[in-house]
């Protein structure tokens, strides 16, 4: 009887031993388990001695091999992407991040060497005695002898007026020392002057003389589109000199005029030179507003200097320029800041 009981105990123990699976982790830890399912990424199992418990899941990359209840051994060879050793992974990820950043930096640098774009905002400074109107021309006919006289005078002492300038510039070229510059700016030019215009008409057939006089103070604001093109030379790393040709196109004007207009007719003047006014009219006006465009398109030379500043990784350029016009009525200075809004175009 004792022999039968001992034999039964041996068979029961063997059945238990041969019915369990063993999972061996990569750190050599063993788990006695009942394996339920093996997928490409994970293993589902139960604790062998607690098979009524919850289903457990372990990453396949954490298991080195499994020994099944029938004695079969299966080794899990995990690809480098799935196997992530704690010492290698941070270094690998760091190298990958640095390599990607370097690649992006090289691509940005290649684009930066070819094209740069900035927007600028500044102040236009000019003398008060500019934006003078065109000279009036008068074409006479037979028996008609015209004579025009036009005078411009500053109002008060010489002083400077201020306006606004805003625009954008595109720089292109591979050379770090010379680039082509193309810019479009909109600017305001303010001026004031005293204007006297007289016109004398002699009519031989009627023996009359007619005199027209305009005597007024002009306060003028003219808005220009300033289209410029030229070359930028980099003297030092951050110091540049631009040499540009500019086309200054007037877009609109606002003139405030105060003064008077007078017209006087004289009779028998041609034969007797006797001043006998037959008719005289005077029209006074104050703060009369007109939008006459009395200045035209002109071409000018614009020397310009600029210096680059880096403020909290933001590239800012300080510039100063002077518009040298072939006509006296369009010179101005400008000073301001240029900002590079796009990282890839700095």
Position 131 in a domain: yes
* Residue 33: exposure state from Cβ atoms within 10 A (0-12, 13-18, ≥19): buried
132: enclosing H helix or E strand: none
Residue 92 has pLDDT above 90, yes or no: no
Residues 267 and 128 in one domain: yes
Residues 60 and 136 in one domain: no
* CA–CA gap between residue 124 and residue 110 (Å, rounded): 35
Kindly give the residue spans of alpha helices, DSSP state H, lying in the chain: 2-18, 88-114, 269-272
Residues 163 and 283 in one domain: yes
* CA–CA gap between residue 265 and residue 213 (Å, rounded): 12
Q: β-pairing, 314-325 with 208-234?
A: unpaired
Residue 84 has pLDDT above 50, yes or no: no
The predicted structure's pLDDT at residue 314: 79
Query: How many other C-beta atoms lie within 10 A of the C-beta of residue 314?
Result: 12
> At CA 320, angle to CA 239 and CA 301, rounded to 5?
100
Residues 153 and 22 in one domain: no
Residues 67 and 140 in one domain: no
Query: How many other C-beta atoms lie within 10 A of the C-beta of residue 179?
Result: 21
* CA–CA gap between residue 38 and residue 58 (Å, rounded): 10
Q: What is the pLDDT of residues 228-250, one digit of tens each?
A: 999 999 988 889 999 999 888 88
Residues 118 and 41 in one domain: no
- Total number of domains constituting the chain: 2
Asked if 35 contacts 51 with a C-beta cutoff of 8 angstroms, the reply is no
Residues 118 and 254 in one domain: yes
Query: Can you read off the two tokens belonging to residue 333?
Result: 């200075």
pTM of the model: 0.56
Position 2 in a domain: no
Residues 124 and 61 in one domain: no
Q: Which of helix, strand or coil describes residue 138?
A: coil
Task: Choose between 300 and 127: higher pLDDT.
Answer: 300
Q: What is the pLDDT of residues 5-39, one digit of tens each?
A: 555 455 444 444 456 888 898 888 888 888 888 88
Position 60 in a domain: yes
Query: Can you read off the two tokens belonging to residue 71?
Result: 């004695």
Position 177 in a domain: yes
Residues 136 and 65 in one domain: no
Position 244 in a domain: yes
Residues 228 and 156 in one domain: yes
Count Cα atoms within 13 angstroms, Cβ side, for 312. Answer: 0
The predicted structure's pLDDT at residue 184: 93
Position 254 in a domain: yes
Position 94 in a domain: no
Secondary structure percentages of the chain, helix, strand, coil, to 5: 15, 60, 25
Give the range of the structural domain holding residue 286, as residue numbers without chain letter.
Answer: 114-345
The predicted structure's pLDDT at residue 15: 47
Residue 339 has pLDDT above 90, yes or no: no
* CA–CA gap between residue 240 and residue 308 (Å, rounded): 8
Task: Choose between 67 and 156: higher pLDDT.
Answer: 67
Q: What is the pLDDT of residues 107-150, one digit of tens each?
A: 555 545 678 888 999 998 887 767 666 554 433 333 334 566 77
Q: What is the DSSP string of 43-107?
A: EEEEETTBTTS--EEEEGGGEEEEE-TTS-EEE----TTT---TTHHHHHHHHHHHHHHHHHHHH
CATH number for the domain that contains residue 39: 2.30.30.100
Count Cα atoms within 13 angstroms, Cβ side, for 325. Answer: 19
Residues 129 and 252 in one domain: yes
Cα radius of gyration (the chain): 46
Position 12 in a domain: no
Residues 160 and 42 in one domain: no
Mean per-residue pLDDT over the chain, rounded: 76
Q: What is the pLDDT of residues 140-191, one digit of tens each?
A: 333 334 566 777 777 877 778 888 899 999 888 888 889 999 999 998 888 8
| Strands of 21-25's sheet in order across | 56-59, 42-47, 30-38, 21-25, 63-67, 73-75
* CA–CA gap between residue 90 and residue 92 (Å, rounded): 5
């Amino acid at each position: 009887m004792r022999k039968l009981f001992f034999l039964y105990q041996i068979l029961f123990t063997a059945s238990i031993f041969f019915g369990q699976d063993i999972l061996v982790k990569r750190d050599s830890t063993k788990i006695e388990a009942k394996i339920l399912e093996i997928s490409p990424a994970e293993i589902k199992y139960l604790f062998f001695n607690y098979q009524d418990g919850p289903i457990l899941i372990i990453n396949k990359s954490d298991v080195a091999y499994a020994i099944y209840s029938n004695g079969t051994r299966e080794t899990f060879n995990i690809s480098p992407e799935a196997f992530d050793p704690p010492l290698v992974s941070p270094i690998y990820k760091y190298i990958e991040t640095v390599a990607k950043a370097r690649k992006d930096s090289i691509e940005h640098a290649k684009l930066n060497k070819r094209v740069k774009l900035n927007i600028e905002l500044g102040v236009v400074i000019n003398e008060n005695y500019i934006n003078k109107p065109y000279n009036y021309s008068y074409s006479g006919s037979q028996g008609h002898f015209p004579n025009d006289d036009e005078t411009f005078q500053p109002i008060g002492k010489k002083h400077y007026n201020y306006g606004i300038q805003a625009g954008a510039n595109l720089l292109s070229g591979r050379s770090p020392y010379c680039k082509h510059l193309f810019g479009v700016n909109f600017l305001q030019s303010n001026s004031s002057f005293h204007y006297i215009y007289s016109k004398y008409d002699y009519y031989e057939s009627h023996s009359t003389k007619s005199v027209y006089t305009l005597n007024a103070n002009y306060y003028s604001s003219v808005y220009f589109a300033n289209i410029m093109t030229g070359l930028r030379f980099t003297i030092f790393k951050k110091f540049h000199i631009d040499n540009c040709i500019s086309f200054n196109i007037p877009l609109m004007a606002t003139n405030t005029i105060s003064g008077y207009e007078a017209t006087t007719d004289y009779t028998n003047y041609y034969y007797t030179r006797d001043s006998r006014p037959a008719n005289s009219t005077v029209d006074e006006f104050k703060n009369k507003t007109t939008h006459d465009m009395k200045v035209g398109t002109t071409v000018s030379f614009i020397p310009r200097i600029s210096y680059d500043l880096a403020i909290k990784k933001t590239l800012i350029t300080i510039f100063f320029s002077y518009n040298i016009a072939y006509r006296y009525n369009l010179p101005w200075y400008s000073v301001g800041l240029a900002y590079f809004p796009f990282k890839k175009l700095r």
